C-alpha cells in the first residue's frame, strides 16, 4: 500500500522520498524509482504520508518525525485507533505540525491507481493542509470530524466488510448444499437487494473464479474487527451481529493463520460443504498447487 501511494504521488509530479525498516521494501521502492533515506530523522519533507502496520508503529514513528526536520503535515493512512490519533494530533500540535488520520480503503489496486477512498479526521486547518495529497491518492475522501474520526469510520467499514464476507460465504455454502450452480446463483443474487460490493467484487468477481489473492490478510481483518469492537464498546454500544462476526474471524484466524489471504477465508465459514476448498474453486489445479492454496 505504501509503495503504491508513493508511486502514485511520484507519477503526479511530486518529489517522493521513502523510509522503511525492511531492506526488501527499500529495494522494491528503488526499483520503482522511489529513493529512501537510511534513518527516519533524515526524512526532510513538508508533507509525510504514513502507511504503517498498526497503532503501535504510529506511536513510535510520529515522535521520531518531530525530533528531525519537522514536516508541515503528517497524513496517517494507517488503520489505527482513535485514541492513538488524538494523542498524536495533540503532540504534533504542540510542535506546530498538523496531523490528520486518513485511513484508506481500496486495497493495493487503489493505492497504485490513485483510486483509494480516505476517511479523514483532524482540525479544519490540518485537513486543509492535507487536501492536496489526499486528492492525488484518492478518488474520494471525506472530512468526518476531529482527530480519530477517520479511524472510527474506517474500522466500521472493515467490520461491515468482514460481516459481508462471512455471511456471503455461509449463503454460498447453502447454495452448494442444494446443488445449485454457484456462479449462476451469485449472478442472480447480485441483481437483488441483498447484493453488496463483497458479493459482487470479492465473490462473483474473484473467489468463485478461483482468484484467491485479494491482498488483505486474515490476520489484519481479525485485528480490525477486534479494534472495531473495542471502539464500539468504549462508546457504550453492545453490538450483537458485529460481535458474532468477531467470533467468526477469530475462528478463521485460528484455522488458517494470520498470513492467509482473505479470499481464502470463506473456507472457514462453511458448515455443509467444502465449496471453498482449493479443489472446488480450482478443479483443474495440479495436486501440489492445491496443497499450496
> Which pLDDT tens digit goes with each residue over 110-124?
999 999 999 999 999
**Domains of the chain: total:** 2
Ranges under pLDDT 50 in the chain: 286-293
Same-domain check for residues 139 and 202: no
pLDDT number for residue 288:
40
Q: Which residues contact 286 (CB under 8 A, 6 or more apart)?
A: none
* Domain end (from 146, 175, 192): 146
Same-domain check for residues 76 and 162: no
Same-domain check for residues 74 and 203: no
Same-domain check for residues 139 and 164: no
Find the CATH number of the domain harbouring 60. Answer: 3.40.50.720
pLDDT number for residue 281:
87
Same-domain check for residues 49 and 71: yes
Residue 62 lies in domain: 2-146
pLDDT number for residue 12:
96
Same-domain check for residues 103 and 186: no
* Grid coordinates given for 212: 484467491
pLDDT number for residue 184:
96
Nearest residue to 242 via CA among 154, 164, 170, 159: 159
3-state helix, strand, coil in the chain (%, to 5): 55, 10, 30
pLDDT in tens, 220-239: 999 999 999 999 999 999 99
Phi, psi of 4 (to 5 degrees): -60, -40
pLDDT number for residue 284:
64
Phi, psi of 48 (to 5 degrees): -120, 130
Amino acid at each position: 500500500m505504501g509503495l503504491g501511494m508513493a508511486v502514485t504521488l511520484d507519477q503526479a509530479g511530486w518529489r517522493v522520498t521513502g523510509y522503511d525498516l525492511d531492506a526488501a521494501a527499500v529495494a522494491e521502492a528503488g526499483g520503482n524509482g522511489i529513493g529512501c533515506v537510511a534513518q527516519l530523522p533524515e526524512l526532510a519533507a513538508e508533507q509525510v504520508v504514513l502507511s504503517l502496520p498498526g497503532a503501535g508503529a504510529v506511536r513510535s514513528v510520529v515522535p521520531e518525525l518531530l525530533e528531525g526536520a519537522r514536516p508541515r503535515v503528517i497524513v496517517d493512512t494507517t488503520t489505527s485507533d482513535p485514541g492513538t490519533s488524538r494523542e498524536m494530533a495533540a503532540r504534533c500540535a504542540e510542535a506546530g505540525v498538523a496531523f490528520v488520520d486518513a485511513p484508506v480503503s481500496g486495497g493495493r489496486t487503489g493505492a497504485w491507481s490513485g483510486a483509494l477512498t480516505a476517511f479523514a479526521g483532524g482540525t479544519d486547518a490540518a485537513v486543509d493542509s492535507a487536501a492536496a495529497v489526499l486528492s492525488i491518492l484518492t478518488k474520494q475522501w471525506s472530512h468526518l470530524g476531529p482527530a480519530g474520526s477517520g479511524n472510527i469510520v474506517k474500522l466500521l467499514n472493515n467490520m461491515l466488510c468482514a460481516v459481508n464476507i462471512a455471511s456471503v460465504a455461509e449463503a454460498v455454502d447453502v447454495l452448494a448444499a442444494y446443488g445449485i450452480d454457484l456462479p449462476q446463483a451469485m449472478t442472480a443474487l447480485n441483481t437483488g437487494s441483498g447484493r453488496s460490493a463483497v458479493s459482487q467484487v470479492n465473490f462473483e468477481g474473484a473467489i468463485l473464479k478461483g482468484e484467491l489473492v485479494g491482498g488483505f490478510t486474515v490476520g489484519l481483518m481479525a485485528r480490525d474487527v477486534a479494534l472495531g469492537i473495542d471502539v464500539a464498546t468504549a462508546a457504550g454500544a453492545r453490538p450483537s451481529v458485529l460481535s458474532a462476526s468477531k467470533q467468526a474471524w477469530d475462528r478463521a484466524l485460528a484455522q488458517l493463520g494470520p498470513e492467509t489471504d482473505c479470499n481464502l477465508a470463506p473456507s472457514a465459514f462453511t458448515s455443509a460443504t467444502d465449496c471453498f476448498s482449493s479443489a472446488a474453486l480450482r478443479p483443474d489445479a495440479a495436486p501440489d498447487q492445491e496443497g499450496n492454496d
